[in-house]
Structure 1
Amino acid sequence: MKIKDIIAILEAMAPTAYAEDFDNVGLLTGNDGATATGIMVCHDALESVIDEAISKNCNFVVCFHPILFSGLKKITGKNYVERAVIKAIKNDITLYAVHTALDNHKQGVNKIFCDALGLKETRILIPKEGFIRKLVTYTIPENAETLRNALFDAGAGNIGNYEYCSFTSMGKGSYQGNADSNPEVGAPGEFVETQEIKIEVTFEKHLEGKILKALFSSHVYEEAAYEVYTLDNRHQNIGLGMTGELANPMEEGAFLQFVRDTMKARGIRHSAYTGRMIKKVAVLGGSGSFAIKNAIASGADAFLTADLKYHQFYEAEGKLLLADIGHFESERFTSDYMAGFLSERVREIPVILSGVNTNPVYYL
């Protein structure tokens, strides 16, 4: 099995197009044309994890956090990042990271978080902006169904729980080709007015190349007239964080104890109690201070995240219970999910969940 075949499976789990612009996801080191001997799944691809992969004959390491986050000007082995990269390259080990590509997936990090807590009625907390585009094109009635189906096959027309979504309308189009033209209707130099069908479909922006290829290959006109717009609509099924509801409301102290036990948190820092029962919960795995206002706006009774600073606890403003459960702890079950996803789809080689604890934070 080639590594690129496994990457195709990872793209289904966490499309790299879903990642945040600041992130560094996808293939980090290695050759995707190499034959995979085994897959090691981990949270952080530290040197100790690379050693484990070598010992277990795994030449493909799939990590959640990218060990290469920003550019390296030197690779001398003087820090933990450089040492891990050097060891991976020297031992022909390919590294691949998913990070915010999985954060933003509706079945990803925050859904895993919600599922661990038993939350129901889950929704994306911060739907992704600038990710939906719209194609408008025009053709003759005889070509409309073929063209529209080709656009659907390329991935256009998917909206939430619906697919094959489009809008068509009829109007009158006009054109006049020059001497070098080859019009489908009429002749060169002839002014033509004809009935045309206007087709409108939306699509996720990373599919634009595929959508336009389908347009050009299925359109009968020599010159296909079309427009592509970026919409202000938020994508309700892609984005950071998530909200959900407990089956039964809980008192704040009991809720925090439940979270601590479930997520195996050694300690939870939290804002002042509000005196309200906890029913609706917002979560954001990893560093989520930027989403405090979103959590409040969502009507959540509590917001669980990590890496909060002193003054950020004031931002709760008594409107919700704000809790920092730890970065690693908030993403605790992510690697298990990744390993399970791959194990169900890769049968030819072993998929091994790393046994190395890469959490860098310790507690007394």
Structure 2
Amino acid sequence: MISYLETQVPLSLQESYDNSGLQLGDSDQECRGVLLAIDITEEVLREAVELGCNAVFTHHPLLFHSLRRITTETYIERCVAFALKHDLVIYSSHTCLDNSPLGPNAYWASKMGLREVRVLDPKPDFYCKVVTYAPRQDADAIRAALSEAGAGRQGEYSGCSFSVDGEGRFTPSAEAHPHCGTPCRSHVEPESCISVLVDKGRLGSVLSALRKAHPYEEPAIDVLPVSYRSSELGSGIVGDLPQPMTLEEIVDKMSDFQPVEQVCHSRYDGRAVRRVAFCSGSGAFLYQMAGRMGAELFLTGEAKYNDFYDAADYTVLATYGHYESELMTQNILGEILSEKIGTFALHYSVNSANPVNYLERSNGKK
């Protein structure tokens, strides 16, 4: 199940500071049920045990930093101890999901009906080029193996590759066992050069599949860096609404698929906007890019005080809570995993809770 999720949301998409992936537990055990949540808390873990689940999948990682001890002093240590005691598997898909075309930003854009959608900050250095050389009669089998391993995927296209025919020259040693040619004699073989684009998260499995399918004892394989930025992978998203809407109308529409209790915003004159940008969580670092891409409004989970001043030169900045902007990740992970295991073993936590609490005064004073 974890392997399937990582083919859909590769760990290589995560940011350098992140710790997405398997947090703890034996991932080889049989899965009896999965509880989906935003964060790992003691309440969430107890809920998993009560439901008979032995796996908890979250958006935010439990472990961002290494632990020097496991006691009862902090909630993180208590959660680790509880999970180990009850043989739970904990897995998190954080910024790799954020940067994915299956993640919360793309989900938000789809729910809002955005058109002409683009990523605000495409992720660099995600792809490499794998090149190999093989006898022409084996080229189709190798291309098929590469495609099956996930190489050659570009947007809505799969099995993408480029080939050119040429001649390979080599001299096998006396100890070699050549697929073609004779030991100690120079040989010329009609070959195809095959090149495919590979995301780095799949590189290991692609190279393994390539070596398994290749007939040569010592196949020639090149792995080359590629300065290619996909328009679908990266932070934030920008696009055009079907029709101009005011901030209030946008918030009303957002409330149909995620909780929106209060909105903070920079200076705003009340006019309707068409091009909007969004980044779940802590996305305020993108407001300048949103403005440069023509966004009249940029929504995110949270921002710093001065961001509301500084953003005024670029766009209208609006925030409505980190937790609120990422609650949809439970549904997203559920939709992805249901493709593999169905829905019978999936549960959505009722104990996912916003760690930020608000004091509401009832005496009418402001």
TM-score by length of 2: 0.87
Out of 321, 325, 334, the residue aligned to residue 329 of structure 2 is: 334
Secondary structure, counterpart of 2:139 in structure 1: helix
Distance in 2 (alpha carbons) for counterparts of 1:144 and 1:12: 25
Q: In the alignment, is residue 304 of structure 1 matched against residue 306 of structure 2? A: no
Q: Name structure 1 gaps, 5 residues minimum.
A: 1-5
Equivalent residue number for residue 134 of structure 1:
129
Equivalent residue number for residue 264 of structure 2:
269
1:202 to 1:309, Cα distance in 2 relative to 1, 3 A: same
Q: Assess if the C-alpha contact under 8 Å between 1:110 and 1:285 holds in 2.
A: yes
- 1:225-278 deviation digits (Å, cap 9, x = unpaired): 221102110133322222232111123454456556764322222122267641
- 1:95-144 deviation digits (Å, cap 9, x = unpaired): 22111222122121112222343334433222221111111222232232
> 1:27 Cα deviation (Å)?
2.1
> 1:86 Cα deviation (Å)?
2.2
Q: In the alignment, is residue 322 of structure 1 matched against residue 321 of structure 2? A: no
Secondary structure, counterpart of 2:231 in structure 1: strand
Q: In the alignment, is residue 88 of structure 1 matched against residue 77 of structure 2? A: no
Q: Name structure 2 gaps, 5 residues minimum.
A: 361-366
| Matched residue type, 2:82 | K
RMSD between superposed Cα atoms in Å: 2.6
Secondary structure, counterpart of 2:313 in structure 1: coil
Distance in 2 (alpha carbons) for counterparts of 1:219 and 1:9: 25
1:348 to 1:64, Cα distance in 2 relative to 1, 3 A: closer
Q: In the alignment, is residue 249 of structure 1 matched against residue 256 of structure 2? A: no
Equivalent residue number for residue 72 of structure 2:
77
Distance in 2 (alpha carbons) for counterparts of 1:302 and 1:127: 20
Equivalent residue number for residue 3 of structure 1:
none
| Matched residue type, 1:236 | S
1:38 to 1:199, Cα distance in 2 relative to 1, 3 A: closer
Q: Assess if the C-alpha contact under 8 Å between 1:170 and 1:197 holds in 2.
A: yes
Correspondence list, 1:20-31, <5 A? 20-31=15-26
| Matched residue type, 1:160 | G
Q: In the alignment, is residue 188 of structure 1 matched against residue 191 of structure 2? A: no
Q: In the alignment, is residue 235 of structure 1 matched against residue 230 of structure 2? A: yes
> 1:285 Cα deviation (Å)?
0.6
Correspondence list, 1:1-364, <5 A? 6-252=1-247, 254-256=249-251, 258-259=253-254, 263-273=258-268, 277-343=272-338, 345-347=340-342, 350-363=345-358, 364=360
TM-score by length of 1: 0.88
Quick one: percent identity of the two aligned structures?
A: 37
Distance in 1 (alpha carbons) for counterparts of 2:81 and 2:180: 63
Instruction: Tell me how many residue pairs correspond in the alignment.
Output: 359
| 114-123 or 86-95: bigger deviation | 114-123
1:112 to 1:142, Cα distance in 2 relative to 1, 3 A: closer
| 278-287 or 218-227: bigger deviation | 218-227
Secondary structure, counterpart of 1:44 in structure 2: coil
Distance in 1 (alpha carbons) for counterparts of 2:280 and 2:345: 28
Distance in 2 (alpha carbons) for counterparts of 1:179 and 1:8: 42
1:24 to 1:187, Cα distance in 2 relative to 1, 3 A: same
| Matched residue type, 2:220 | A
Q: Assess if the C-alpha contact under 8 Å between 2:128 and 2:225 holds in 1.
A: yes
